[in-house]
Structure 1
């Protein structure tokens, strides 16, 4: 029995080494917010959690994991597309070890943003702290794989950054402070500056392949449409315009950094157009409802308001674009991930 266990460990390590040698992207490393958090918030003192049913009801085993979805999130599908793994482990989850995390890990925290003030609103992990966790992860990977192999993984890994929505919807437009300090345009510039600094910091730590995520049409989230009920419940175009403008600024940042930083491969992964197309033409994608979410009444529930005792949650989330009032369903996440793979990440695939 002991001999079989040892052989199993040796085989697992051999397969890992072969994957590192032959894969163009041997690991996926994620920073961001609830769009990609796979359970880090479970381990911190915050109200921004989703580690209870019905979250995760369509995930493997039907169990909640801390993902803000009925199943997998966007980066789970990206990791699968690269042939790495089906799900992204959360760095703070004690159930995962370096065997799980050597081919990718998630540092994201639901409720956070580029702006430190955004993470302060709901006491979640700020972006700078995610970077500190990543530095610790580097040391752990060195110990696990050895320095040479670890450096190869970190150099060839795909780094995904997905955040920004909370900076506007949960901070700038929701609480006093930043809106009195900055105009919208100034705040966009402020956030883009932080994004650029973060990318440079990652580069300094060895990252070369980086996907910078754009904003979704955030004025069309069910929560925002609910706030617009007096005017018919349509999308809040002001918010959508801000998202579009910010994405243009991020594209400019991507172009600038690609020219300035030797050896970096930086792309903008922009979900705006595909999500807007899904929302405006849900039937074309097999959805029946793009206005309300599946959980609860579909208008305002998320987090603790979206729980197993809510009698109104829909029976089939695959027919809905949104799972709760702020987050897409697993099926929507898969469609967006497929679009991003084809439009911005295809160059990182093994030919």
Structure 2
């Protein structure tokens, strides 16, 4: 197990990204007919896909202040300098370019009928993970999904609401916090209850339970992200300064977990009629870009753009820092955990192609 000092500083992120550069005319040219019929993008998970739900809950884990959002002109609560994967997916499918957070009072059910995000930064598959920073647990995201459907039926009628839920594209990005904020942080006691392999099994079982729950509520086309190379996040590199580079122990955990997730997903595909379930290989895509940064014109793949980029996230990444880089497009990471908008956009293209092939 990594050292307590190393673990105690770790918070979580999962780098999941999605997007394309195409405009409306280009989208019409390359998207298959099925994609044009996607009525909504519906999102579950953590900070990699939270478009602002944490703004309105009592947690210290927020990003609704500058310089977050500086490249879209507003700090919306997205942990990025700009847009997140669900935003790019939505735009690519001919839907609004920003997926609204369900708890954002600026939006109503008419907006949510075309896309909605239930995600909460800091949450995980394990309910105990959400308790670390008092964020929305995944089971509560499912409860919001149920409430959303009731509101949608009242607004659009039962048949129309059923079509939205059935034909929507679901994006799920969750799991990293369970390891970096929970198990390796040594605060919940999970490390005493489980070996790391047993904890992986526990999380995979929780993921299967979640996917089954949303399936029973009508979800049929689901993109589920594997873990990224969590040992290569800037904070982990900082904590690994003595040995240098990524923390291989963490990356091995991610690889092992991803193998188990794939096996679980294969079982669900065979046991849940009509379910289309796509695995998003974030780990491989992330390492490929880190090892070949010139493919995207990146100059720094080790530190974040904000502040020193070595340990800052949330309130430590603020507009008073004199060290924040002027051009985030040269960086893989925006803060010490989350990718820049440019990287989100790049990875989105690969993710969306998987969705188009396997789900739409």
Flag whether TM exceeds 0.5 (same fold).
yes
Q: Which runs of 5+ in 1 are unaligned?
A: 1-20
The whole-number CA distance in structure 1 between the counterparts of 2:305 and 2:182 is 25
Determine if the alignment matches structure 1 residue 39 to structure 2 residue 52. yes
Note the alpha carbon deviations across 1:246-279, whole angstroms, 9 max, x for none.
1111111111100111111111112111111111
SS at match of 2:47: coil
Is the 1:24–1:348 Cα contact (8 Å) retained in structure 2?
A: no
Q: Choose from 69, 85, 108 the match for 1:56.
A: 69
SS at match of 1:321: strand
Determine if the alignment matches structure 1 residue 151 to structure 2 residue 151. no
**Which aligned pairs between 1:303-322 and structure 2 lie closer than 5 A?**
303-322=314-333
The whole-number CA distance in structure 2 between the counterparts of 1:153 and 1:346 is 20
1:237 to 1:95, Cα distance in 2 relative to 1, 3 A: same
Determine if the alignment matches structure 1 residue 258 to structure 2 residue 269. yes
Determine if the alignment matches structure 1 residue 24 to structure 2 residue 71. no
Note the alpha carbon deviations across 1:149-187, whole angstroms, 9 max, x for none.
110110111111110000000110012411111011100
1:23 to 1:150, Cα distance in 2 relative to 1, 3 A: farther
- Structure with larger Rg: 1
SS at match of 1:268: strand
The whole-number CA distance in structure 1 between the counterparts of 2:262 and 2:38 is 23
1:22 to 1:49, Cα distance in 2 relative to 1, 3 A: closer
Query: Which residue pairs with 2:352 in the alignment?
Result: 341
**Which aligned pairs between 1:1-351 and structure 2 lie closer than 5 A?**
23-59=36-72, 62-176=73-187, 177-232=189-244, 234-349=245-360
Task: Tell me by how many angstroms 1:58 deviates.
Answer: 0.5
1:321 to 1:22, Cα distance in 2 relative to 1, 3 A: closer
SS at match of 1:229: coil
The whole-number CA distance in structure 1 between the counterparts of 2:320 and 2:186 is 30
Q: Which structure's relative contact order is higher, taking Cα pairs within 8 Å and 6+ residues apart? A: 2
The whole-number CA distance in structure 2 between the counterparts of 1:22 and 1:278 is 27
The whole-number CA distance in structure 1 between the counterparts of 2:250 and 2:165 is 36
Task: Tell me by how many angstroms 1:344 deviates.
Answer: 4.2
Task: Tell me by how many angstroms 1:348 deviates.
Answer: 3.5
Greater helix share, structure number:
1
Is the 1:154–1:206 Cα contact (8 Å) retained in structure 2?
A: yes
The whole-number CA distance in structure 1 between the counterparts of 2:90 and 2:263 is 27
Task: Tell me by how many angstroms 1:237 deviates.
Answer: 0.7
